Amino acid sequence: MADDDPARKPPAASNGTRVKIETDVDIVTARQMGRALAAQMGFGPSVSTVVSMAISELARNIVSYAKRGEIVLKPTNSNGRVSIEIVAHDEGPGIANVTQAMQDGFSTSGGLGLGLPGVKRLMDEFEIVSEVGRGTTVKVRKWKT
Amino acid sequence: MEVPILKQGDFLIASIQSALTDADLMALRDAVVTKVGHFRSSGVIIDVTVLDVMDSFATRTLRDIAHMIRLRGAETVIVGIQPDVAFSMVQLGLTLEDVATALDLEEGIAYLSRRTKEIRKGVASRGR
Amino acid sequence: MGGKAAQGRMTNNETFYEVSGTLLRELVDHLRQNRSQLREEWARRISADKLLTAMSEEEIFAEATSIYDNYIEALETQTFETLQAYARNLSERIIPRGVETHEILGIVLQLRDVLARSLFSQYHVDVEKCNRMFDAYEPAANRVANTVALGFVEERERIIREQQEAIRELSTPVLQVRERLLILPMIGVIDPQRARQLTEQLLRGIRANRAKVVVIDITGVAAMDATVANHLVQTVEASRLLGATVIVTGLSPEIAQTLVNIGVDLGKMNTVAGLQGGIEEAERLLGYNVVHSLAAAGTELEA
């Protein structure tokens, strides 16, 4: 892959809140910050819970597979449509077969617990870029309806 | 954050007080399993009312607890899962399929009392 | 207020506005001087074209006066907030009376026309000035028309949204038929948004009513796509996490097929043919004794 691969680049530098992810305590911190941001943006309790859940899973993947990374939480507004954007970025081992990782059941079998298909179901938009030896970036979004 | 585990008659009640890290959850698992053996309890209630998220790790750990408790001959019931939490869990694909659940502590105690009575009856009838 | 406010607002194209600023003032003065006559002319044309038929002559005249004054003020100050607020307020009052979008568009365009004709008859001798006058008038007049029409349409949409919300809530009532037993009759077309709302409502209902058994009756559901079928399954699972058992009744062969197609194990789902049977099963789960009276089948007694 080319050098400008998004997985190599640091996540969007603008106005988001960055949370370092290294330990299980950081997972709790990240999801609590995400919930607070969603609530502050006017998302209802049900959607805020979903956002919090997705962050927890993404942060967990970082701790489990990459050891360290970061999560960026960002409120966005395009033409009056409001969304919360979450980018999980690490420079860990990467995922060899992204297609396989996105299949339901792949995570649970073998106890890997990637949970990516679940996160995709929870959110409205889901993008993943991963390269073996270089790292993984997952970007997800929830629109406010 | 340690989870207090209270003995109430035949049962143990673990009531979670705040958000738990993975380490906290594992500590809870070890403590519950040890105490069930120690007190020879017939049932365990885990109250999760205060949890505003139950992710895959929390769910898996609760399931592990239930399975380990069953191996020790006792029953487990999870009580107090909040509506929004439950909805987000099933969307992620977490259903706690083979673990008993109840609305709250009161319901959990009622469930365990019924269950343990049934089990005793079953044992007794088999003995006849 | 006059010219001061007008000039204060003109920022983007100074040369154009310097010229048009002076012209606008002249234009506004003209429209003020002829207020009574033009207003009457406009009201007459509204009646002649059979617009705003839901309103009386007096009402039309009163609204025409308000719109006229707001119109001129907007032209003069080049600020549209007051007009916008007025348009919204007007729409709020007249939409419930059945005034249609084409009527509002119609009267705004009429006013534009009435004023343009008056300007033309005043200035047509000096063609160049007349042209410049229209250069100043047109953009502002268009924006005024736009503001009023948009205000109306937005208000209409808001009302429609509110009504949809109300209908949605009406069509998914969570009923408590007896202690600890909820019934959710689903009727009509279930889209993903409604399905989601329904789940949230049910889960909160379970907690609020301390329900142990829920009967979801889908007899009245016309069709169910895979997304909504999935949602039904999630609802059943989430209810169980709260400690409630769900019984699904009225499952049509088509919907059963959809569920099987998306990989649902119907054996794991608690299904009963009819609502009556579902309620009986629920009562059995709750520990009530259901006794059928032979004389009147369908009535039941509690033991």
Name the residue ranges covered by the structural domains of chain C.
Answer: 2-164, 175-302
Q: Bridge-partner residues for A129, per DSSP? A: A137
What pLDDT, on a 0 to 100 scale, did the predictor assign at position C296?
Answer: 43
Per-residue pLDDT of chain B (128 residues; tens, 9 = 90+): 789 999 999 999 999 999 999 999 999 999 999 999 999 999 999 999 999 999 999 999 999 999 999 999 999 999 999 999 999 999 998 989 889 999 999 999 999 999 888 877 776 665 54
Distance spanning both ends of chain A, measured CA to CA: 37
CA dihedral C91, C93, C97, C98 (to 10 degrees): 10
- Which amino acid type is present at position C249? T
What pLDDT, on a 0 to 100 scale, did the predictor assign at position A10?
Answer: 43
Minimal CA separation from B95 to chain A, in Å: 12
- Per CATH, is B5-127 categorized as 3.30.750.24? yes
d(Cα C52, Cα C44) in Å, to the nearest integer?
12
* Nearest residue, CB atoms, B55 vs list A35, A60, A117: A60
Q: Which of B70-84, C33-47, C196-210 has the highest mean pLDDT?
A: B70-84
Nearest CA in chain C to B96: C241
From residue C18, alpha-carbon distances to A50, C7, C11, C24, C127 in Å are: 56, 8, 10, 10, 20
| Beta-carbon pairs below 8 A across chains A and B | 66
When the pLDDT of each residue in chain C is averaged and rounded to a whole number, the result is 82
DSSP state of A96: S
Contact check, Cβ <8 Å, C210/B103: yes
Answer for the pair C172, C197: CB distance below 8 angstroms, yes or no: yes
DSSP state of A6: T
Answer for the pair B69, B28: CB distance below 8 angstroms, yes or no: no
When the pLDDT of each residue in chain A is averaged and rounded to a whole number, the result is 85
Long-range contacts of A74-78 (CB under 8 A, 24+ apart): A74/A12, A74/A14, A74/A15, A74/A16, A74/A17, A75/A37, A75/A41, A76/A141
Answer for the pair C60, C52: CB distance below 8 angstroms, yes or no: yes
What pLDDT, on a 0 to 100 scale, did the predictor assign at position C8?
Answer: 41
What pLDDT, on a 0 to 100 scale, did the predictor assign at position C292?
Answer: 53
Best probe of the B interface among A23, A33, A47, A56, by most B CBs < 10 A, is A56
d(Cα B91, Cα B89) in Å, to the nearest integer?
5
Q: Which value does ipTM take for this structure? A: 0.93
Q: What is the pLDDT of residues A50-61, one digit of tens each?
A: 999 999 999 999
* B interface with C, Cβ–Cβ below 8 Å: 79, 81-87, 89-91, 95-96, 101-104, 107
For A50, counting Cβ atoms within 10 Å of its Cβ (0-12 exposed, 13-18 middle, 19+ buried), the class is: buried
The chains found to touch A (3+ Cβ pairs under 8 angstroms) are B
Nearest CA in chain C to B92: C234
Instruction: Give contacts of A119 with chain B, Cβ < 8 Å.
Output: 92
What pLDDT, on a 0 to 100 scale, did the predictor assign at position A106?
Answer: 54
Task: Give C14's pLDDT tier (boundaries 50, 70, 90).
Answer: very low
> Percent of chain B having pLDDT more than 70?
95
Nearest by Cα to C182 from C152, C159, C205, C156: C205
d(Cα A31, Cα C22) in Å, to the nearest integer?
60
From residue A143, alpha-carbon distances to A43, A97, A102, C24, C279 in Å are: 9, 29, 22, 45, 39
Q: What is the pLDDT of residues C217-230, one digit of tens each?
A: 998 887 888 888 88
Nearest CA in chain C to B84: C200
Name the residue ranges covered by the structural domains of chain B.
Answer: 5-127
Same fold, C2-164 and C175-302: no
Minimal CA separation from A108 to chain B, in Å: 10
What pLDDT, on a 0 to 100 scale, did the predictor assign at position C57?
Answer: 85
Distance spanning both ends of chain C, measured CA to CA: 82
> In CATH, which superfamily holds the domain spanning C175-302?
STAS domain (3.30.750.24)
**What is the arrangement of strands in the sheet containing C175-178, beginning at the earlier edge strand?**
C175-178, C181-188, C213-221, C245-249, C271-272
Contact check, Cβ <8 Å, C243/B87: no
A25 reaches B (C-beta below 8 A): yes
Contact check, Cβ <8 Å, B86/C242: yes
Interface of A with B in 37-96 (CB under 8 A): 45-46, 48-50, 52-53, 56-57, 60
d(Cα C149, Cα B80) in Å, to the nearest integer?
52
Answer for the pair C214, C247: CB distance below 8 angstroms, yes or no: yes
* Nearest residue, CB atoms, A53 vs list B19, B53, B60: B53
* Nearest residue, CB atoms, B87 vs list C210, C238, C243: C238
d(Cα A144, Cα A85) in Å, to the nearest integer?
11
* Nearest residue, CB atoms, A53 vs list B20, B21, B88: B88
Contact check, Cβ <8 Å, B89/A46: no
d(Cα C113, Cα C11) in Å, to the nearest integer?
28
With tokens 């009580």, the residue in question is B79
Q: What is the pLDDT of residues C179-191, one digit of tens each?
A: 899 999 888 778 8
DSSP C47-76: HHTT-STTS-HHHHHHHHHHHHHHHHHHHH
Contact check, Cβ <8 Å, B79/C243: yes
Tokens of C30: 């003209």
* Nearest residue, CB atoms, B83 vs list C204, C210, C234: C204
* Nearest residue, CB atoms, A49 vs list B56, B57, B88: B88
Contact check, Cβ <8 Å, C241/B103: no
For A135, counting Cβ atoms within 10 Å of its Cβ (0-12 exposed, 13-18 middle, 19+ buried), the class is: buried
Best probe of the A interface among B60, B88, B90, B94, by most A CBs < 10 A, is B88
Domains of chain A: 17-143 (3.30.565.10)
Q: Give me the CATH code for the C2-164 domain, please.
A: 1.10.490.10
pLDDT block averages, 10 residues each, chain A of length 145: 45 72 96 96 94 96 93 91 96 88 59 73 94 95 92
| B111 Cβ neighbours under 8 A, 6+ residues apart | B77, B100, B102
For C201, counting Cβ atoms within 10 Å of its Cβ (0-12 exposed, 13-18 middle, 19+ buried), the class is: middle
For B85, counting Cβ atoms within 10 Å of its Cβ (0-12 exposed, 13-18 middle, 19+ buried), the class is: buried
Nearest by Cα to C216 from C208, C224, A60, C87: C224
| B95 Cβ neighbours under 8 A, 6+ residues apart | B89, C237, C240, C241
Predicted confidence (pLDDT) at residue C231 exceeds the cutoff of 80: yes
| C241 Cβ neighbours under 8 A, 6+ residues apart | B81, B85, B86, B89, B90, B95, B96, B101
Reduced to 3 states (helix: H, G, I; strand: E, B; else coil), residue C94 is helix
Predicted confidence (pLDDT) at residue C80 exceeds the cutoff of 90: no
